[in-house]
Amino acid sequence: MTAHAIEQAALAHFADNGFEGASLAGIAQAVGIKKQSIATYFPKKEDLFMAVFHGMAKHYIGFLEQLYQDLADAPVETRLREIVYKNYQYRAGHPALTAFYKRAVQFPPPFFKEVLLEQIRMMEQRSAVFYRSIFEEGMENGVIRRQQSEGLLSAYYCLLDGIAMQMFFYEEEDFERRLKDIWNIFWAGIKQT
């Protein structure tokens, strides 16, 4: 039995039930071990939750870094649009990670609030460097209207976060149609006319 198998079972339990609702007994049963065996790897439930959160963050950051590399030579509009679409596809393709993150952000356990804010700041700082460079390149090349890059970043993060929430309310086909409309309106609002 490995810590990884425990983390995978815990991910599903935390995603479905939140921190308070997930039980170590249920996680142990899913792995096929006794509850006490979890303590060998994770002395407290909080430690297990933190390990799952850090694993989720590492997975997502790896996805973003690969995406940035893949899009490095694409035109500005394509890069910005593909980041939106690929983020949606990532979330749809990793439902347990997505549900876990959504619960952790919306209903963080008390011990986790400061860590959560720190992690979100760290993830945003990493992505902001990339997004800002795309916006500035677009303004420099006359593709995007001249404006404050911080305002563009704020709007772009709201777009990404809004999509992450909206995708839970619609069937895939309906949402993809909505996503196309959302992107077209966003792009029309920032592009150089």
Count of Cβ atoms closer than 10 Å to residue 16 Cβ:
14
pTM of structure? 0.86
Task: Specify whether the CB–CB gap between 63 and 94 falls below 8 A.
Answer: no
**In contact, 52 and 7? CB cutoff 8 Å:** yes
Handedness of CA 109, 32, 40, 58 (dihedral sign): negative
Instruction: Give the Cα separation of 164 and 80 in Å (integer).
Output: 16
pLDDT digits (tens, 9 = 90+) for 5-64: 999 999 999 999 999 999 999 999 999 999 999 999 999 999 999 999 999 989 988 998
